[in-house]
Structures are given as structure tokens and as C-alpha cells.
Structure 1
């Protein structure tokens, strides 16, 4: 029984980790497929529209069947939250991210996304979702880690460096280049810099999305599918408006049974509907900083997949910057982990102090197999009243005082009847 309990407890505690690791594999696949689609000439504005149309179509039926009852009222405040969530996600984050992805590479884009935990941490401090006591080491680690992460991102932005050749990509032609003339030439340094800036803006919008989603979950704590559906639907409408303004070519809307359809469907189902919902579940228990802590894993997966599938070129600036970002990131995560452990340790320390303060007059003892056990809970006090357990002072305990154990008795020592 004990082993089963430990196993079930382990699985329960592992759920947030398994969920976020699984999402990173989903994000990695999206980066590869989307890169091929964008290099094939698909407009990223149109891709965002189709992506969230698919997401809405997939998640809305589940929300309707499982969360119809007791729906929260959509007040003006709630509507503004949903509107801004849709604006941050589909319109700003994904459009800028896709534009930056097209000008750089999947691995580089994922590496820049590693800034996400640091930016989320900074915004969480601003909105008082995180606390900082600079005198303590754990908070110093979080602050220093944030600075290191931002520094690594700046290095990747300003320094491209020489090409790092990989053994299996030396004599291969990139698959993505064969899909369209848009990818037939090397990305210039100017385009690379523009792509970096676009990716930073996208990451900032993504961090803002996590912060606001955490606030919106207070209203939709029991209706997360509904919140996801509303965000995807509103985001689709906003993306349509932006696409009509930015994309004036009617043929850009055409989509067939090709990589463009796969990219839109995959991104919509996996990295919009499912990811928004899973992130919401994780953030309810672990907070926004934890939910963004697994992005380095996505970078590793994409680097491996991109080198094999796309014969992607990796530059020294990206490698060095990635290592700096990851080191800073895990400095932040170490501080976060220690911060989460602190209340439990403090609670154990307080309990130990309170136990020492419990008056001897209500401490009961019982000898079992030669071991002396001290018991202070109300049940044992009742046993002492009935004579089942002898007290340390061999004195009776008044029945009217038993119901006050174990809370009030700490501060109110029991009187000795012999003294009265």
C-alpha cells in the first residue's frame, strides 16, 4: 500500500513536468514544419489566420460539451482581457515570430525564445506575481540569471560569427531551399538583425500573454477550455483584420492539400488550442515562470531536427549566446525552486518550535516496543481523559479543555488542579 501511495504521489507531482516537456516537442515540430511552409512562399499573416481558425474549430466543441454550466459572465473587464490575449497571441506574438523565423532559422528562433522565462520573471515582479528580497541568495540568483539571459540574447542579436559545420550537413543541400525561390539565397546580415529584433518583440508579447492569462484564469478557473476557445476565436477575427490590411494579394489566401495546410492545422491544433489549455492548467499550480522554464529543451530538439531535415546552418554567435542564455535561465530556475521550498522549510521549523512550546501538562506518553512516543493531538488528549494513556505529570485533564487542543493549548497552559 505504501509503495502504491508513493507511486501515485510521484505521478501526480510529475504531471506538470511531463505536460511541459511534451509541449516542447510539439513546439519543435511546429518550428520545422512552419519554416518549410514559409520558405515555400506562404504568407505568415495568412498562416496565423488559418492556425487560429483550426484551433477554434478543434477546442470549441469540447468547451461547449464539458463547460456549458455556470459559465462566467463576460463583463467589460473580462472582454478586455480576452481581447488583449487575442491581440498578444495571434496578432503580435505569432506574426512577429513567423517573420523573424523566416529571416533567421528554427534553431536560432528557439534560442531567442529562451529569453521568455527572464522576461516573464521581470513582468511578474512588476505586476507583483513574484517577490524579490535582494538580500537573500535565491533572489540574487534570479536577478543575476535574468541579466545573463538578456545579455546572451543581445550577443546573439549583435554577433552572428563564423559558420559551425556539422558532420552530417557538410555535403547536403537544405531541403527547405528546394521548396521555393524565396529561400534560394543566403540570409543577409541586415535581414538577420531584423529577424532578431522581430523575435525579441515576439518573445516580449509571449511573456505578456502568460502574465495576463494568469490573471484571466482567476475568472475562468473552472472553464479553461472556454477561455481557450474565446481567445482563439477573438484572435482569429483580429488576425483576419490585420491580414486584410497587410496582405493585399488575393492568391495569398489560397491553400491546398500541401505543406501549407499541414502547417496551419498542426500549429492550430497542437501549439494553439492544446498548448493554451495545458499552459493554463500548469500555471494554476506552478505559476507563469515555471510554465516558461522548459524552452531550452525545444531549442535542443529543433537543432537536432533542423540539422537533419533542413540541413540548417548554425553560427558561432548562436551557439555561444544559447549557452549563456541557458546558464542564466537555470540560475533563475534554481532561485525559483529554492523559493518554492522555503515556505515548507519555514513551516517545518515553526512546527518544531511550537511543539517545544506545548505545555508539559498536556503532553501524553505511550511506550510501544520500548519506544517512548509523545502525542499532543486532540485524539490523544481524549484518550488521556479516559485513562487510556497516562500523562507525564500523572494528572487528569479536564474535558472542557480537550476541545481546545491542539491550537489554543499552545498559548494557554493547563492549570494544575492541585494548585487550586
Structure 2
């Protein structure tokens, strides 16, 4: 049982990050549904962080009110930066990329986040290149393989592979909408790519700031609440500046309420807590490596539930993504083991080391002799002290007798 617990504890960050990508599939589907409904996506972002703040604030108060460190200006500033870059800017730029290009292009560009985050983590000293070591090579090559697999899954189709389908066509009306949107904005591909790059930089910077923030303020519920609150302020202000129709802000018992509630509770709430915890445990690169899995899950959902055909490129890309993930996780595992060995106290190693025991056994005779000699020397010193003290006592007695004779004569 103890071995099973240790294995589960080691695999916990990996399992949680896979769960994060699965939950992101749901929000992508809901975003498509709410686009068909005609809701302004900037308002969706604003409601998303409002719901996230209302959901996370009670959790932070209940679970972290006694262990929360003192709030400082540095932590507050990092929370505002996280809300601006990881919340408002990242989501807004991603949706702008969707509007100017296609969902395929935007999702493919997001797969550059691991590479950009790795470069920024090197710059800030959170990761080491360590090209000469096997772990460093595994991280670099695995990241490149994962990105290449995601790009192959996106842009290469190949032969069709028949798969069973449940014939769920709830997103079928979206096809014409996306096609018309893409045709009307075909000349803005360059601007969309520029927005996508800024969105990638925003996400990477948020992961770096989140890693720094979790070191001094390791309260993930409070961190997420602070980020969601600041992001809600920025998003509401931006939505009010761009949308003046108050009918867009109304929510009913429809797909709009479901979308903003799910977006606030799951991606902006639960997922951010999990990501912050994984960044604190394994670093920002570990988190970003799982991003290509989103494309793989979306391809599977599309083939099994949306009556879409699965292509050879999707299978090859998925295999490359899994191989890249395995290489990066292997490299991170090697580095974590090395760090744990370096953190072992030297006293424990000294006590458990066998050479010291051998030296004690081999030198036991010499030690007995030396101890015997030391005892003899000590006894001699004690005897000398006793003799000196007795001689001093005799001298004092003779001196006293002389004083008495002198006084009598006088």
C-alpha cells in the first residue's frame, strides 16, 4: 500500500494536468455554441472571471484563512499582473485570433506556448538548458516533438480512417458560421497571427509570474481568487468600452448562463488552482507541455461525437504528442530525483555510511591501546596533582608552625 501511495503521489501532477485538458474541451464546445447564439465573447470573458471570483473566494476563506501568509505589495502586484496577462489579455487575444482566422489556426498557434515558456523560463532562471545531461536533452527534444505532433495533427490530414459515431450533430450549424467568418476575414491572417503571438507571450508570462508568486504565497485558492478578481475588473472595463448594448449582458436559463457558469467555475476556477499547484510542484514547463493534448482530445470528440472523420495525420500527431510528453516527463523526473538527492542532509549520509563503521572496527585495537594510554596518562596527572596538593599542604603547616614559634619568642 505504501508503494502504491508513492506511485500515485508521483503521478498526481500528470493526472491532474490531463484532467485540465479534458475540462478545456468542454469550454471550447460551449464557446462554439454561444457564438452560434450570438453573444459577445468579451462579455463572456467578463462573466467568466466574475463567476470565478464568486466561486473561489469562499474556498480561499474556508481552507486558507489560518495558513495564509501576510499580504504584501509585491504579492498584490503579482496578482494584478496575473489577472491582466493570464486572464484578460490571454483570453481576449485568443478570441480575436478566432475572429480573424480559424479555430484550427488559433489552436495550433497555442501549441507554441511550451517553446516560448521554456525560453522565458531559461531567461528568468526557472529552468536550466543542461544540454549535456540526458534529462536536459529529453526536455528539449520532447518539447519539439510535442509541438511538431500538434502541428502535424492540425495541418496534415492524410487518409481517412472510419470510426464509430454517435451521430451527435449539435455543432453542425457552426460549420457555415465559421466558414463565412473565415472567408470574410481572409485578408487579416497576418494580424491574427500577431494577436496569437501576443496571446502566447501573455500566457507564458502569466506562468512565470505564477511560479514566482507561489514561492512566497503558496495559497493556490487565494492566488486564484486574487487573479480572478483583478481579471474581472480588467475584463468588465474592456467589455464596457467595446459593447454598449445592455441586452448582451442579460443572462437567462439558456446556453449563455451555462457557458459563463462553466467557464467561471471550471477553466477559470478549478483549472487555475490545479495549474498553480502543478507550477509550484514541477515548474511552468511541465504545465505547458500538456497543451497539445487539447488538440488530440478535440479530434477524438469530433470523430466520435460530431460525425467527423478521423484522419491518419491525427493518429500520427497524437502518437508524437504522447512521445513528446513522455520524454519531457522523464527528463523532469530525472531532475526532480537529482534535486531530492541533493536536498538530503549530510548528517544522515554520514551516519549511514559504511566506511565509518569499517574504520571503527579495524581500529578498535588501536583505539583500546590509545584509550588505555590516555587513562594511564590521566591517572598520572591526577596523582601528580594530589602529590602537589599534599606538598603544598605540608609547606603551609611548616609555615604556620614557624609563625607560632616566632610569636612565642616575641
Normalising by structure 2, we get a TM-score of 0.74
Partner of 1:232: 228
Contact 1:32 1:306 in 2 (8 A): no
CA 416–344 in structure 1, closer or farther in 2 if over 3 Å, else same: farther
Counterpart-to-counterpart distance in 2, 1:152 and 1:356: 50
Per the TM alignment, residue 357 of structure 1 is displaced from its structure 2 partner at its CA by: 4.4
Alignment of 1:313-392 (within 5 A): 330-343=326-339, 355=353, 357-358=355-356, 360-363=358-361, 392=362
CA deviations on 1:318-343 (whole Å, 9 max, x unpaired) are 88777766665554444333333344
Contact 2:149 2:317 in 1 (8 A): yes
Residues 108 and 151, structure 2, Cα contact 8 Å, conserved in 1: no
Q: Is the 8 A contact 2:163 2:310 kept in 1?
A: no
Does 2:33 align with 1:36?
A: yes
Secondary structure at the residue paired with 1:176? coil
Report the alpha carbon displacement of residue 53 of structure 1 after superposing the two structures with TM: 0.8
> Contact between 2:118 and 2:285, CA under 8 Å: does it hold in 1?
yes
Q: CA deviation at 1:248?
A: 3.8
Structure 1 residue 33: deviation in Å? 1.6
1:175–1:311 Cα contact (<8 Å) kept: no
Count how many residue pairs are aligned between Structure 1 and Structure 2: 368
Aligned Cα RMSD in Å?
Answer: 4.0
Alignment of 1:251 onto 2:247: yes
CA contact (8 A) 1:104 1:187 kept: yes
SS of 2:295 mapped into structure 1: helix
SS of the residue corresponding to residue 182 of structure 2 reads coil
Does the 8 Å contact 1:174/1:311 carry over to 2? Answer: yes
The answer to whether 1:81 aligns with 2:73 is no
User: Residues 44 and 314 from structure 1, CA distance in 2 versus in 1: closer, same or farther, beyond 3 angstroms?
Assistant: farther
Any unmatched runs of 5+ in structure 1? Answer: 364-391, 399-414
Structure 1 segment 17-416 matched on structure 2, within 5 A: 17-69=14-66, 71-101=68-98, 103-105=101-103, 109-146=106-143, 160=155, 167=162, 175-178=170-173, 182-183=177-178, 185=180, 187-188=182-183, 190=187, 195=192, 197-221=194-218, 223-311=219-307, 330-343=326-339, 355=353, 357-358=355-356, 360-363=358-361, 392=362, 394-395=364-365, 416=370
Local SS of the residue matching 1:69: coil
Structure 2: how far apart are the matches of 1:285 and 1:178?
A: 43
Aligned counterparts of 2:308 and 2:259: Cα–Cα separation in 1 = 19
Q: CA deviation at 1:232?
A: 0.5
Q: Which shifted more, 228-237 or 292-301?
A: 292-301
Structure 2 gaps of 5+ residues are 375-410
